[in-house]
Amino acid sequence: MTIPQQLILFRFLISPVIIALAWFFGERVNLLIVFLMVLGILSDIFDGIIARKMNISSVKLRRLDSQVDLVFWLSIGLSAYLLHPEIIAEHKIYIVVLFLMEGLCYLTSFIKFGKETCTHAFLSKIWGLTLLVCLTALIGFGHGGIPLKLAVYWGLISQFDVILIILLLPKWQSDIPSFYHAYLIRKGIPFSKSKLLND
């Protein structure tokens, strides 16, 4: 098993651990959950970097990475609900819309291409940063407020971007930075994906 695969496996394995910690120990281990979340995010950052440095990056690996990302973030979200259901309830409408948009991204991709989305879009990466801030505040300190609203709003923007990417692409592809790049592909205008991935 390569190092990138090990990092993806690590992120997958800590997901149920995070849920179990929140379920059985509650706020007594909130900082431990935050620590595991940060480790998971670091593994997500470095698996791609290492794969490219080792020249073993592949569509299969990127798809696996995307699906494990979904499992990981859902486990973090569930643990946040278990720890602070009252804060989640205050923003339930926005969060439900966010989940519906996420589901719409996958549904659109399956209908058009017969497989899941794997864009790794730039706005989605920024959303990951807003989620890190939001969930650190929520899980670690019981605070929702602006970080939570920012994560929700940015999540909706990034998911709309992904849906546009899917609709614009003539065929399924991974690693499309934005809907503008999907538009370029549709028009047959080349751009350097490898350069963007290494930036």
Quick one: 145 and 63 in the same domain?
Answer: no
Quick one: 69 and 92 in the same domain?
Answer: no
Average pLDDT over residues 119-123: 91
| CA-wise closest residue to 77 among 107, 104, 40 | 40
- Please identify, among 42, 60, 83, the residue that sits at the C-terminal boundary of a domain: 83
- Please identify, among 83, 110, 140, the residue that sits at the C-terminal boundary of a domain: 83
Quick one: 56 and 6 in the same domain?
Answer: yes
What six digits make up the tokens of 112?
A: 């058009």
Torsion of CA 127, 130, 135, 141, to 10 degrees: -170
Quick one: 10 and 102 in the same domain?
Answer: no
- Dist. CA 22–CA 37, nearest whole Å: 12
Count the residues in the chain. 199
Quick one: 51 and 38 in the same domain?
Answer: yes
Average pLDDT over residues 19-30: 96
- Please identify, among 16, 50, 83, the residue that sits at the C-terminal boundary of a domain: 83
- Dist. CA 20–CA 6, nearest whole Å: 22
Q: How high is the pLDDT of residue 59?
A: 87
Q: 19-44 as b/e, with b when 16 or more CB fall inside 10 Å?
A: bebbeeeeeebbebbbebbeebbebb
DSSP 3-state percent helix, strand, coil across the chain (nearest 5): 80, 0, 20
For residue 192, name the pLDDT band (cuts at 50, 70, 90).
low
Quick one: 117 and 165 in the same domain?
Answer: yes
Q: How high is the pLDDT of residue 42?
A: 94
For residue 193, name the pLDDT band (cuts at 50, 70, 90).
low
Quick one: 115 and 167 in the same domain?
Answer: yes
Number of structural domains (the chain) is 2
Alpha-carbon radius of gyration of the chain: 17
The residue behind tokens 């706020």 is 27
Quick one: 183 and 142 in the same domain?
Answer: yes
Average pLDDT over residues 57-81: 92
Percent of the residues in the chain that have a pLDDT greater than 90, as a whole number: 78
- Dist. CA 67–CA 100, nearest whole Å: 17
Average pLDDT over residues 52-66: 89
Quick one: 114 and 78 in the same domain?
Answer: no
What range does the domain containing 189 cover? 85-199
pLDDT, one tens digit per residue, over 125-181 is 999 999 999 999 999 999 988 999 999 999 999 999 999 999 999 999 988 999 999
What six digits make up the tokens of 48?
A: 């791609």
- Dist. CA 130–CA 183, nearest whole Å: 26
For residue 120, name the pLDDT band (cuts at 50, 70, 90).
confident
Query: Mean pLDDT in the chain?
Result: 91
Percent of the residues in the chain that have a pLDDT greater than 70, as a whole number: 95
Query: Contact 54/4 with Cβ under 8 angstroms?
Result: yes
Of 198 and 187, more confident: 187
Quick one: 93 and 144 in the same domain?
Answer: yes
Average pLDDT over residues 106-120: 92
**Sequence-separated (6 or more) residues with CB below 8 Å from residue 129:** none
Average pLDDT over residues 4-13: 96
Q: How high is the pLDDT of residue 194?
A: 43
State the sign of the Cα–Cα–Cα–Cα dihedral 80, 82, 85, 91: positive
pTM of the model: 0.85
Quick one: 152 and 64 in the same domain?
Answer: no
- Dist. CA 74–CA 79, nearest whole Å: 9
Quick one: 173 and 186 in the same domain?
Answer: yes
